[in-house]
């Protein structure tokens, strides 16, 4: 207590020395007159400090305050940053954080895209695979302007697919049509390894059946063939497959419909004629002499009878 009194007395003496004119002010607590420079009343012992408005938030604060207790703004501009400077610094730091986040997101996205590009395997009907297949076929077979008529997907493995394609190409101004079974596996980014073999179409192939239809129309065994407009293969089956010589022996029912205004006459001694007939056809599938394209052979056509119209 004695030390505090001594400090107060010393402070009062200093204030009195500063105020040689003897100016006083009223203590806001006890109402007594005290030195105008006094910060503590010598009578009621209360600390005295004038209030001012904070220049930032306009709240009432002590005149001796160095920092506003409401908005937290420093009032000593020489030592601490102002509110506007703090705001600018915060914006700058926030901008740098946003840039860093965007850069990181871009790197992650790039890694994801590259990873997916290496892991994704397009299927047989993908445009990129089709174009690469065309280029590959030109290097393996004597054709130009390779065209893909149809593709069938056979199987899939971890690195690629196995497919069968019906191909049309040109060779010395002649059209070549053949089936090729090929397998492609991913070797790198947009890079694939191809292997292939020519496949002989079986009895169910529309290409072979179309060739057999042409042979039927050219046969002279039945006069009524000239009056036939449409043919359809039904109940086709493989009778035999010669693996050594690579050929098929097949049977099927061929349903034939007459042209408009015409009829099919199966027997010369009978004037009865119908619009639809069904015959049993025996045919074969084999490689042509070039060992690439497929040829069809008509063995026989028999057992013709009228079908229900």
pLDDT, residue 1, reads: 45
Sheet with 174-188: list strands edge to edge: 144-156, 160-171, 174-188, 191-199
Pairing mode, strands 60-62 and 51-53: antiparallel
Contacts 24+ apart (CB under 8 A), 284-288: 284/247, 284/248, 284/249, 284/250, 285/200, 285/201, 285/202, 285/203, 285/205, 285/208, 285/247, 285/248, 285/250, 286/200, 286/245, 286/246, 286/247, 286/248, 287/198, 287/200, 287/246, 287/247
Please tell me whether residue 71 adopts helix, strand or coil conformation: coil
Question: In this predicted model, which residue has the larger pLDDT, 285 or 146?
Answer: 285
Please state, in angstroms and rounded to a whole number, the distance separating the CA atoms of residues 192 and 128: 10
How sure is the predictor about 78, in pLDDT bands with cuts at 50, 70 and 90? low
pLDDT over 70 at 287, yes or no: yes
Closest CA to 195 of 219, 223, 234, 163: 163
DSSP 59: -
Closest CA to 180 of 297, 296, 293: 293
pLDDT over 70 at 19, yes or no: no
pLDDT, residue 193, reads: 93
CA 289 to chain centre: 45
pLDDT, residue 16, reads: 46
The pTM score is: 0.56
Instruction: Kindly list the domain boundaries of the chain, sorted by start residue.
Output: 2-48, 81-120, 127-199, 206-306
Beta bridge partners, 233, equal 254
**Averaged pLDDT for residues 139-165:** 90
pLDDT tens digits, one per residue of 26-65: 887 788 888 877 777 888 877 777 777 888 888 888 776 7
């Amino acid at each position: 207590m004695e030390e505090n009194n001594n400090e107060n007395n010393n402070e009062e003496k200093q204030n009195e020395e500063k105020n040689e004119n003897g100016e006083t002010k009223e203590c806001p607590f006890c109402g007594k007159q005290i030195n105008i420079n006094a910060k503590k009343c010598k009578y009621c012992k209360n600390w005295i400090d004038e209030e001012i408005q904070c220049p930032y938030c306009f709240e009432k604060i002590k005149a001796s305050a160095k920092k506003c207790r409401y908005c937290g703004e420093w009032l000593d501009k020489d030592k601490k940053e102002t509110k506007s400077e703090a705001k600018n610094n915060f914006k700058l730091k926030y901008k740098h954080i946003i840039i860093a986040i965007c850069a990181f997101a871009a790197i992650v996205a790039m890694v994801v895209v590259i990873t997916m590009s290496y892991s994704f395997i397009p299927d047989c009907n993908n445009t990129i695979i089709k174009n690469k297949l065309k280029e590959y076929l030109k290097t393996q077979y004597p054709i130009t302007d390779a065209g893909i008529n149809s593709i069938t997907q056979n199987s899939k493995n971890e690195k690629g697919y196995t497919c069968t394609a019906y191909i049309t190409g040109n060779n010395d101004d002649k059209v070549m049509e053949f089936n090729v079974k090929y397998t492609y596996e991913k070797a790198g980014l947009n890079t694939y390894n191809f292997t292939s073999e020519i496949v002989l179409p079986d009895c169910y192939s529309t290409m072979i059946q179309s060739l057999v239809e042409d042979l039927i129309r050219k046969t002279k065994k039945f006069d009524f063939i000239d009056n036939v407009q449409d043919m359809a293969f039904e109940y086709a089956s493989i009778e035999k497959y010669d693996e050594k010589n690579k050929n098929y022996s097949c049977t099927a029912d061929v349903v034939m419909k007459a042209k408009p205004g015409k009829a099919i006459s199966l027997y010369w001694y009978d004037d009865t004629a119908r619009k639809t007939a069904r015959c049993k056809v025996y045919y074969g599938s084999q490689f042509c002499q070039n060992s690439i394209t497929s040829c069809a052979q008509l063995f026989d056509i028999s057992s013709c009878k009228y079908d229900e119209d």
